[in-house]
Structure 1
Amino acid sequence: MKYVKFLAWIGTGIGAIGGYLYWKEIGCITGTCPLKSQWQTMIPIGAYFGFVAGDVLKGFFMPSKKDGDKQ
């Protein structure tokens, strides 16, 4: 559980790589698609979604401490 704190950042890196791969393999061939036609837009979008997914997973593994809890 030591590395659970970094799940959001790991997700960001994986999402950025996923955004690049999505642009490379599936992206818009004609160049008329505003989001999918350029890698400069797909990498930040993928990084954002990866960060959100990693943050959600971090919430499952590390529940937030309540004010009344003492640990």
Structure 2
Amino acid sequence: MKFLAWIGTGLGAVGGYLYWKEIGCITGTCPLKSQWQTMIPIGAYFGFVIGDVVKGFVMPGKKSEDTAEPDK
């Protein structure tokens, strides 16, 4: 179910670009919103976090693949 985090990352990156393109900062003095190079990674980060949270709701009782103990 790691794909939910990756899908969230991709959607967040697209969302960051669209936010910069449509809303952004008109004057260019806003340090975060004035450049697409900063908005895409920020959007991707938030998309990853939201995708990871959604993954937790979809599979609440299952341990994460990353933290599962190996079989002995």
CA displacement 1:36-62 (0-9 Å, x = unmatched): 000000000000000000000000111
Extract structure 1 runs of 4+ deviating beyond 6 A. none
- Equivalent of residue 34 in structure 2, options 29, 33, 37: 37
Separation of aligned partners in 2, 1:20 and 1:39 = 6
Q: Structure 1 length normalisation: TM-score?
A: 0.83
TM-score where L is the length of structure 2: 0.82
SS for the counterpart of 2:34 is coil
Tell me the distance in 2 between the aligned counterparts of 1:31 and 1:51: 27
Corresponding pairs, count: 63
**Between the two proteins, what is the percent identity of the paired residues?**
87
When the two chains are superposed, the root-mean-square deviation of aligned CA atoms in Å is: 1.4
Alignment match, 1:15 = 12
Equivalent runs, 1:40-55 vs 2, <5 Å: 40-55=37-52
Q: Tell me the distance in 2 between the aligned counterparts of 1:8 and 1:41.
A: 20
Residue segments in structure 2 that go unaligned for 5+ positions in a row: none
Question: Post-superposition shift, 1:29?
Answer: 0.9
The alpha carbon displacement at 1:5 in A equals 3.0
